Structure 1
């Protein structure tokens, strides 16, 4: 997947508008972090293993990720690597008991913007999160859909032949979800949670897949029988 990025500022939004994903398998620590961020005014979600963290990070948009390293299902740095390969540039803070110099270097080289060793001071953690929220983020502006280019700002898809198709807001949100994780199959429930959060009807997913196919070609979205949809035209 090819992407085009621009730098965007991280400031200006109220904490209550900021969403943080915590991925932590220790129940006591995870619950404490969830309460801490919520009391600080953030919207916070908690995943207790790497697979659940990957799922949430792919279907929702977060401003900061706080990840443990020793996670069940998918190890923390592997999780981060998968997100980076999917074009997700959300700043990540690794929060772990692994504190040697080699561990820190591995974490930072593995795609994390910051690394904090347990045990930690609450005030320091919150300060580091605030720094990440102020940091300019490389925002993806263009995604590849097969041989076509999808401009996220104009919501237009330009084909290899120069043809241009304009998408509605919901069509663009659906295509973006699929294009950001081209190797993943999304269930209808996954798509409803991200694209149609104000409507619980999964039949909307099939309707909008039909709209995309009509505008971009039948091969743009692939149906995985019994599982859902993934990006086609690859």
Structure 2
């Protein structure tokens, strides 16, 4: 595919500064990138979990969800898009925390425009393919399309919440999660442990009773049956 035919990369900027955020959007759009802006960590989490991005640019001092906490949630959720932390926090300890927290790069404000664009280009370089499918019994769960494909080739589409729950269990196939842990990881903005039971029921109804096993008195884990 030629450069002219290749779709523009999509970026997500998570920045609460009312001047810096729009400035970054104009800068990236001017460089040819499709760019969305989220003004706080909660909005950033929603954007990243519901839309595909090629790279993310995150501030650290964000309202609602702090930048490194947001990054940790995204990585736990299976979001593998490369991340550049763009922040005024620039000590060695700050940079180490950002890189150890899952960021691919770290740039301190104020920044030079040419350097920022060069670092984004590096983030967008082709990388070795990472797994986008997880095993669910004898089926395969596609993290991008949110579909489960059975051994017979049949497919079942999942909602966002159903997909989040199945991803949590499939990424830790031998771990038993309590209802409280499931709610904290999958439904942090909703609350109520009965949500875990409700969405386990939804998944079993769509995929069959073998997809999620009940560990009596403890919680749920990935089942060993087939959808």
- What TM-score results when the alignment is normalised by the length of structure 2? 0.67
CA distance in 2, matches of 1:167, 1:44: 35
Shift of 1:27: 0.7
Higher RCO (C-alpha under 8 Å, 6+ residues apart): 1
CA distance in 2, matches of 1:95, 1:13: 29
Aligned: 1:100 with 2:91? yes
Residue of structure 1 in register with 2:197 after alignment = none
What is the CA deviation profile of residues 23-52 of structure 1, one whole-angstrom value per residue up to 9, with x for unaligned ones? 000010000001111111111010010011
Aligned runs of 1:1-234 on 2, under 5 Å?
Answer: 16-136=7-127, 138-143=129-134, 145=136, 149-152=139-142, 157=149, 164=151, 166-168=153-155, 171=157, 176=163, 179-180=166-167, 183-185=185-187, 216-217=207-208
- What TM-score results when the alignment is normalised by the length of structure 1? 0.66
State the aligned residue count: 186
Structure 2, unmatched stretches of 5+, are 170-184, 189-200, 213-220
What is the CA deviation profile of residues 159-211 of structure 1, one whole-angstrom value per residue up to 9, with x for unaligned ones? xxxxx35344x72686656544674259xxxxxxxxxxxxxxxxxxxxxx98x
Which structure carries more strand by proportion?
1
CA distance in 2, matches of 1:15, 1:28: 31
Structure-2 change in CA distance of 1:13 and 1:150 (3 Å): farther
CA distance in 1, matches of 2:72, 2:108: 20
> What is the root-mean-square deviation of aligned Cα atoms in Å?
3.6
CA distance in 2, matches of 1:91, 1:144: 24
Secondary structure class of the residue paired with 2:140: strand
Q: Is the contact between residue 30 and residue 48 of structure 1 (CA under 8 Å) also seen in structure 2?
A: yes
What is the CA deviation profile of residues 60-80 of structure 1, one whole-angstrom value per residue up to 9, with x for unaligned ones? 110000000000011101100
Shift of 1:113: 0.2
Which range is displaced more, 105-114 or 128-137?
A: 128-137
Structure 1, unmatched stretches of 5+, are 1-10, 159-163, 187-208, 222-231
